[in-house]
Amino acid sequence: MRLIFGACLAALAASPALADYWNYNDWHAATEPHVTEQDSYLSCRAWTGGDGDPILALEVFSGDAGPPAAYPMAQVQEYAARHYPTMMQQGGTVDFIFDFDRTFSIAAGINSRINEEGLAEAESVLRFEDHVPMLQAMKQGRWVEIWAGNDMVYEASLSGFTAAYGKMMDECGFSLALPAG
């Protein structure tokens, strides 16, 4: 009996920890615990999109620097079907254009690559000084258009963003407040 009980405990200890998941209108938040011999932490993520559309996401890790020293970076992630390129191409830029002021936009560089499965993927990379203005605009807006050149890559709803952002930050132990703007 002790042998069976011990085997069950060992199996439980070796099993991966479960992630927690929440929905807020068009946005989602999730946490995933990570445990190693040296460290344990949570990765906390908020996102919209997916299911064939690009993903607009933010991610933080518990134990990292947080607000007001550092805010999470919003990032667009695009994944193409096999044998197709992404709309976002290496060396280009994407523009985030918000509904509340069509003259206001934030530009970000693009990193693209072919992953280990042979699929094209790309992601936007904001400059550090644009992290806070991006979060302020996401808080204020109802939607954001993401353009690569003359092509709209994705129109992301911001309905539920503030709640998902707050949940993500709270779960990783950071201030819930978005930067003032």
Does the pLDDT value for residue 86 go beyond 90?
yes
Within 13 Å, how many C-alpha atoms sit on residue 102's CB side? 0
For residue range 96-155, list pLDDT tens digits in order.
999 998 888 999 999 999 999 999 999 999 999 999 999 999 999 999 999 999 999 999
Q: Name the amino acid, one letter, at 177.
A: A
Give the pLDDT band (50/70/90) at residue 17.
low
User: What residue segments make up the domains of the chain, in order of their start?
Assistant: 18-171
Helix, strand, coil in percent for the chain, rounding step 5? 20, 40, 40
Give the pLDDT band (50/70/90) at residue 36.
confident
Whole-structure pTM value: 0.85
Fold assignment, 18-171 = Immunoglobulin-like (2.60.40)
Rounded-to-integer distance, Cα 61 and Cα 173, Å: 9
Does the pLDDT value for residue 4 go beyond 60?
no
Rounded-to-integer distance, Cα 65 and Cα 56, Å: 22
